[in-house]
Amino acid sequence: MADIFKFKQFEVDQEGCAMKVNTDAVLLGALAAANNPQSIVDVGTGTGVIALMLAQRFAVANITAIEIDEHAAETAARNFENSAFADRLNIIKGDFIEVGHPEKYDLILSNPPFFLDSLTSANQKKNLARHTDSLFFDRLVKYAAEHLTDTGTCQLIIPLPTAAVIVDLFPKYQLYLQKVIAVKSFADSEPHRVILTFGKEQKGIAEDEFVIYDAPKVYSTDYQLALGDFLTIF
């Protein structure tokens, strides 16, 4: 049986992908902020859902998606080809550090592996997609420093405890934290994710919060507004 997630303007086949379409991915795709970006890269694209959402949002952007897992890369490529945005989407199979492309980007996005230094999963695909260590984040921040335009930003969605690990790397690569969005399930909940925005420009750090639910199974107005152009339930 086909494993397809239907959005309003595209479909995402999830076959062969350890990590399916999830809340983290769609939040980053919907909330990533940029001023008319011309060039975007999605690091660790998985199914390609974030890249597809950005292609829908930014009509002139050319988007590169990088994926190390061969089967996931093939699935993302099919999703791109079957979308209305195929001419602006490109998939690269391989490790983002080793693919050797020289491009600079206005926006770098990643919904990265997030079990920092945790026990590995018995499922090797899921292990590759969801587990990492501090070296991974060092490589990712270094990649951002090398591939961002002077005014570009890198935006990541990660668990709150991982944020400090990443922010501590910024001075090493002359990067600066610009914005933090604390993501909460409910208004009175503790944040369980943060969206970090950083880049080469030193600015004041903007802080915001995003609440997903007003009550159990009742999405907040902010969530409905953010995802209203994408999810068929709205």
Q: Is 179 inside any structural domain?
A: yes
Q: Is 95 inside any structural domain?
A: yes
Q: In total, how many domains does the chain have?
A: 1
Q: Is 223 inside any structural domain?
A: yes
| pLDDT for position 97 | 86
- What is the full per-residue pLDDT of the chain (234 aa) written as tens digits? 469 999 999 999 998 788 899 999 999 999 999 999 999 999 999 999 999 999 999 999 999 999 999 999 999 999 999 999 999 999 999 999 887 777 899 999 999 876 544 434 445 444 444 445 678 899 999 999 999 999 999 999 999 888 998 999 999 999 999 999 999 999 999 999 999 999 999 999 999 999 999 999 999 999 999 999 999 999
CA atoms of 148 and 136, how far apart (whole Å): 18
Q: Is 232 inside any structural domain?
A: no
Q: Is 38 helix (H, G, I), strand (E, B) or coil?
A: coil
Residue range of the domain that includes 200: 4-227
| pLDDT for position 119 | 39
pTM comes to: 0.91
CA atoms of 147 and 207, how far apart (whole Å): 25
Query: CB neighbours of 36 closer than 8 A, spacing ≥ 6?
Result: 58, 60
Q: Is 68 inside any structural domain?
A: yes
Q: Is 233 inside any structural domain?
A: no
CATH number of the structural domain spanning residue 59: 3.40.50.150
CA atoms of 226 and 26, how far apart (whole Å): 9
Query: CB neighbours of 75 closer than 8 A, spacing ≥ 6?
Result: 13, 14, 15, 16, 17, 47, 48
CA atoms of 51 and 67, how far apart (whole Å): 12
Secondary structure letter of residue 153 according to DSSP: E
**8 Å CB contact between 66 and 44:** yes
Q: Is 234 inside any structural domain?
A: no
Provide the greatest CA pair distance for the chain. 50
Query: CB neighbours of 165 closer than 8 A, spacing ≥ 6?
Result: 116, 134, 137
